[in-house]
Amino acid sequence: MLGSECREVLGAEHEIIALDRKDLDITYWDKVVEKIQHVAPHVVFNCSAFTDVDGCEKEAFTVKKVNVEGPRNLAQACARFGCKMVHFSTDYIFNGYKSVPQPYFEDDSMDPLSAYGRSKMDSEVAVRDNAFDYIIMRTGWLYGMNGKSFIRSILHNVLFKKMKILKVVNDQFGSPTWTYSVALQAKELIKAGVTGTYHVTSEGYCSRFEWAKHILKKLGVRAAVEPCSSNQMITPARRPHNCILENRLLKKHGLNIMPEWKSDLDTFLEKHGDELIKRAKSGE
């Protein structure tokens, strides 16, 4: 999801060499070193991750290989050949115990609740310990036209599965964030030449229930949406109740260009709504 957006945004001004898993399996150290030495990039973006939060609970070996060893390999190769590394992390590194609307800051202690969150925490440590020049961008509640997302799941359930009543949790809070806006922010961070860990989410927050209602209303899709608690929606992996991140360091350095969540979501839905509905009805 993020990879395609970064390619589009940065490709307008830079030469981009986009690699998928068949081009480079980042879990193999020697292949990573060989590829980065051959390509000789100025900046390496790591958009690879095992992001199936529930699946991570039962795929410990794969999660460690992809989410921890892969980033470590990239970080070591970047250090060896003098490349900057951009790594994406998640709001799930925090436990979510803070009272809403108190946000999480970049220097708050990491205490993940899930295997996915632990793997992303370990990935951050791997990047910080091995890369000399890096940017870690923590984000969350992502949506876009590529890959799985909350928006596509909601529309799929309503338009394809024809669910008569949609139950959505109202005790999980975060900031819906368009991947396109994250890519634009990444571009600004690279231009500024900064290093470090930054929170990158849209401004403001909502519950997943509020998010779902806004999506359907904006697209003119009629559906009965009922709120429920996380305890009523048992999943293999625990989710934080509070996923609100404050873009404090972006603001401190005068670099924050992240828009308000609702206005950015409206722009996305106005641009892509028809295609989203079409895909949902077809079962995509």
Residue among 197, 175, 147, 174 nearest 47 (CA): 147
Which pLDDT does position 16 carry in this prediction?
A: 95
Does residue 134 have an active-site annotation?
Answer: no
Least confident among 50-54, 106-110, 144-148 = 144-148
Q: Are 215 and 73 in contact (CB under 8 A)?
A: no
Using DSSP bridges, classify how beta strands 165-169 and 134-139 pair: parallel, antiparallel or unpaired. Answer: unpaired
Q: Across residues 4-14, what is the average pLDDT? A: 92
Which pLDDT does position 284 carry in this prediction?
A: 87
Distances (CA, A) of 244 to 53, 79, 202, 217, 282: 18, 32, 10, 23, 34
Helical segments of 93-207, H only = 115-130, 150-155, 179-192
Secondary element (H or E) of residue 267? helix 261-282
Say how many Å lie between the first and final Cα of the chain, rounded.
Answer: 15
Which pLDDT does position 164 carry in this prediction?
A: 86
pTM exceeding 0.85: yes
Task: List residues bridging with 174 in a β-sheet.
Answer: 206
pLDDT tens-digit map of 93-141: 999 999 999 999 999 999 999 999 999 999 999 999 999 999 999 999 9
57: number of Cβ within 10 Å: 16
pLDDT tens-digit map of 170-210: 999 999 999 999 999 999 999 999 999 999 999 999 999 99
Q: Are 140 and 175 in contact (CB under 8 A)?
A: yes
Q: How many helices (H) and strands (E) does the chain have?
A: 10, 10
Percentage of residues of the chain with pLDDT beyond 90: 96
Hey, what are 160's tokens?
């394809």
Which pLDDT does position 1 carry in this prediction?
A: 80
Q: How many CA atoms lie within 13 A of 124 on its CB side?
A: 26
Mean residue pLDDT of the chain comes to: 97
Identify the active-site residue in 92, 116, 143, 198. 116
pLDDT tens-digit map of 207-261: 999 999 999 999 999 999 999 999 999 999 999 999 999 999 999 999 999 999 9
Residue among 197, 84, 93, 78 nearest 137 (CA): 197
Structural domains of the chain sorted by starting position, each given as residue range(s) with its CATH number in brackets? 2-282 (3.40.50.720)
Q: Across residues 261-279, what is the average pLDDT? A: 98
